[in-house]
Structure 1
Amino acid sequence: MLFPADSKTPEPNFASPVLFLVTVLGRRTKQNLPFASGIRSSGKGRASSPIRSATLRIAALSANRTASAIRSAPQRKEMSMNSRKAVRLSVAVLLAIGGVPLAEAQLTRSWVASSGLDTNDCTRPTPCRTFGRAISVSNSGAEVVVMDSAGYGPFTINKPISIISPPAFHAAIAPTSGTAITISSGISGAVVIRGLYLNGQGATNGILQQGNNALIMENVVISGFTTGLNFDVGTTPRFIVTDSTIRNSSDGILWKGASPGRGVLERTRLENNTVRAFYINSGGTFSIRDSIVTEGSHGVFLDTLDPASVDLINSAVFNNDGIGIYASASGAGAVDVNLDHCLMSRNGSAIVAQSPIGASVIRVAQSLIANNNNGVSWGGAMASVISRGDNTLENNNSGNTFTSTYPAK
């Protein structure tokens, strides 16, 4: 028994946790002292206000009445409706005073706005100012939604979540150093980023993926970073990028995670990236569809020790000063590239295959390779650029023949 039994105060029924709380607090008071005095004595110096004092008095009165009802009728199995309301009010006051923030419940949808404050609860009526704050009060799998055009500052994603800016708004992240968006390791679900503008002002990374979770990127512009989209980590990440633009960076996309990983680009532009548009430096499987690689140095550039394959379908690689498609097997893992319904034009070299160690094979079907300084070239015993026999390879200054032809299946 929690309290000594006596003839005046029988042992109460503790089936309800709330009933237990009110009974204990009622017992702790002496000579029917106001319940609020006990609260004030444990308030740890919190500032008082007229509203707070009134709330405490209401809570005290309700709790004392409830406790009296319990002592006078211990055999009743159910509390009256008024007593239940009083208990709920008392518990709410206790939680608020005791340091449990009632407004901090995890949200399924949170909101950010230029007029928001990070002291807010991130609901739509009272949005937060930054993505970082909104993420911290959101559930895994929740959405963080932009309410207006503004700069929102760099942030880190540490849970599966969707960051969404509707098409009507220009939600920008413009760091002068470091990384605009960091996706931490240890995330078990997908991260979705939709509709943001990442504008590097001397910063290193647009998006840095540190984990092995999936990144889904839609309608995002990344511009002006050392690396636009960076998978330079020792994991096996995955990505799907659609309707996006990565431009004005050194490397547009850097893939340097441990193999095998995989990625998809659809309806995406890689433009004016000064070193490589898409640099694949470790193993994986990749699909590039309905996309454009242009106005840079090198385009799709594979140089890896591990097995890697790329399917380039219904896409255009043109106006690049260096090599449009480069495939080199620097280790024992084979490198395999398939081009289908593609345009390769006005590049320094359209297609180059190299095999320093492993096999490097580029297959071309129903594509146009024309008006390049060099059309097709290969080097090494296991390097080849082979045609299905239905391509146009002409009007290049050199490299107007394939290694061989393979039959259509």
Structure 2
Amino acid sequence: MRRIFLLAALLVFIAPLLASAPAHAQATRTWISGVGDDVNPCSRTAPCKTFAGAISKTAAGGEIDCLDPGGFVTITKSITLDCQATNGSILASATNGINVNAASTDLVILRNLSINGAGTTLGLHGINILSAGAVTIENVKVFNFSQQAIADLRSTGGALTIINTDVHTNLGAGLGTSTSGGTLRVLIDGLHSFDNSFGIALSTNTSAMIRNSDFSNNTTGIDNEGALIVATGNAISNNGTGVLSQGGTMRLSNNDIALNSVGINNLNGTVITYGNNRNTSSTSGTITPAGGATPDLGQQ
């Protein structure tokens, strides 16, 4: 009896301590799998099923890796989604593939993903960026969406980096920006944008460096709607219009602007071309030359 009394007293003493013990800390790295379960801890041996389930168990600044494909997701904090080890795919019929709605100081990295909007009703945006400090998109494929493959709609600017990424077969632009304040700083290196309405369409308050990229088989390859754009070393081919200026300033150097119905069309704004551009199509509007042409490369 004395032992029972002592045990009961001990339980009364430690019960408040147990009740106040913290929940398991969020992991720095988590995993998802098509055969996982979101009640799991999202470890490699007990993965979650969806990105959404894994995000809730991943610490800010952490990383979610893929064992198998996952579902569409909303990102609200600094996070890395990386599916390098497998075919990490997101199917997003009638919705956005990835929504980024994080704090203005957060860093979001999307890497090695395939985002498909196919279905009875096409998806809306492949990657829809509403708020974040910096977003990096690397080795990602985005296709079959009814609006932009990548839409950056931040109202206070930020940074967007796109590296070695394919955007194709979208009814809207491969990349579209629309920022009402601040400056959206864009670096594009190795973007392949084809079979879209616009390869890219960049708005006011956007400052973009575009290099080593392809814009082909679109209605318009590069559309400037008020941005500051420097485009160098790109292939802009087989579009209705290769380069369209509707505002802002665009500087073109060392680009192949070939086989378009119209090579460069300046409706408004400033288009400055250097002597090393190679344009095989007609031009329209005021085109301002800059720099001397080499003997074998005529000024366009």
Q: TM-score, normalised by structure 1?
A: 0.66
2:246 partner amino acid: S
Separation in structure 2 between the aligned mates of residue 276 and residue 235 of structure 1, nearest angstrom: 24
Is the 8 Å Cα contact of residues 129 and 152 (structure 2) preserved in structure 1?
A: yes
Partner of 1:159: 77
Separation in structure 1 between the aligned mates of residue 274 and residue 21 of structure 2, nearest angstrom: 64
Following superposition of structure 1 onto structure 2, how do residues 41-120 of structure 1 map, counting pairs within 5 Å?
Answer: 95=18, 98=19, 102=23, 104-120=24-40
Is the 8 Å Cα contact of residues 224 and 250 (structure 2) preserved in structure 1?
A: no
Partner of 2:257: 344
Relative contact order, CA 8 A, sep 6+: which one is greater?
2
Residues 1:145 and 2:45 are matched in the alignment: no
- Unaligned regions of 5+ residues in structure 2, if any? none
Is the 8 Å Cα contact of residues 269 and 291 (structure 1) preserved in structure 2?
A: yes
Higher Cα Rg: structure 1 or 2?
A: 1
Partner of 2:87: 170
Following superposition of structure 1 onto structure 2, how do residues 230-269 of structure 1 map, counting pairs within 5 Å?
Answer: 230-249=151-170, 250-259=172-181, 260-269=183-192
Structure 1 residue runs of 4+, over 3 Å off? 98-102, 391-394
Is the 8 Å Cα contact of residues 273 and 290 (structure 2) preserved in structure 1?
A: yes
Q: Label 1:185 to 1:365 Cα distance change in 2 as closer, same or farther (>3 A).
A: farther
Separation in structure 1 between the aligned mates of residue 90 and residue 150 of structure 2, nearest angstrom: 14
Q: Secondary structure at the match of 2:5?
A: coil
Q: Secondary structure at the match of 2:55?
A: helix
Which of 234, 248, 255 is residue 315 of structure 1 equivalent to?
A: 234
Identity of aligned residues (%): 23
2:230 partner amino acid: D
Separation in structure 2 between the aligned mates of residue 365 and residue 209 of structure 1, nearest angstrom: 37
2:252 partner amino acid: L
Partner of 2:288: 385
Q: CA deviation at 1:170?
A: 1.1
Separation in structure 1 between the aligned mates of residue 251 and residue 215 of structure 2, nearest angstrom: 16
Instruction: Give deviations 1:269-303, integer Å, cap 9, x for gaps.
Output: 01110x21111122221011111000111011012
1:241 partner amino acid: I
Partner of 2:276: 366
Is the 8 Å Cα contact of residues 75 and 102 (structure 2) preserved in structure 1?
A: no
Q: CA deviation at 1:186?
A: 2.2
Separation in structure 1 between the aligned mates of residue 221 and residue 271 of structure 2, nearest angstrom: 17
Separation in structure 1 between the aligned mates of residue 20 and residue 217 of structure 2, nearest angstrom: 57
Partner of 1:300: 222
Partner of 2:242: 324
2:217 partner amino acid: E
Residues 1:184 and 2:105 are matched in the alignment: no
Is the 8 Å Cα contact of residues 212 and 235 (structure 1) preserved in structure 2?
A: no
Partner of 1:207: 127
- Unaligned regions of 5+ residues in structure 1, if any? 1-30, 39-59, 68-89, 330-334, 395-400, 403-409
1:268 partner amino acid: L
Is the 8 Å Cα contact of residues 353 and 362 (structure 1) preserved in structure 2?
A: no
Q: Secondary structure at the match of 1:227?
A: coil
Is the 8 Å Cα contact of residues 210 and 235 (structure 1) preserved in structure 2?
A: no
Separation in structure 1 between the aligned mates of residue 104 and residue 277 of structure 2, nearest angstrom: 40
2:208 partner amino acid: F
Is the 8 Å Cα contact of residues 101 and 132 (structure 2) preserved in structure 1?
A: no
Q: Secondary structure at the match of 2:97?
A: strand
Partner of 1:51: none
Q: TM-score, normalised by structure 2?
A: 0.89
Instruction: Give deviations 1:11-31, integer Å, cap 9, x for gaps.
Output: xxxxxxxxxxxxxxxxxxxx9
Q: Label 1:234 to 1:187 Cα distance change in 2 as closer, same or farther (>3 A).
A: closer
Alignment root-mean-square deviation, CA: 2.6
Separation in structure 1 between the aligned mates of residue 158 and residue 125 of structure 2, nearest angstrom: 17
Instruction: Give deviations 1:63-105, integer Å, cap 9, x for gaps.
Output: 69xx7xxxxxxxxxxxxxxxxxxxxxx67x963xx49674x31
Which of 135, 148, 151 is residue 227 of structure 1 equivalent to?
A: 148
Q: CA deviation at 1:313?
A: 1.1
Is the 8 Å Cα contact of residues 143 and 161 (structure 1) preserved in structure 2?
A: yes
Q: Number of aligned residue pairs: give it.
A: 292
Separation in structure 2 between the aligned mates of residue 228 and residue 325 of structure 1, nearest angstrom: 19
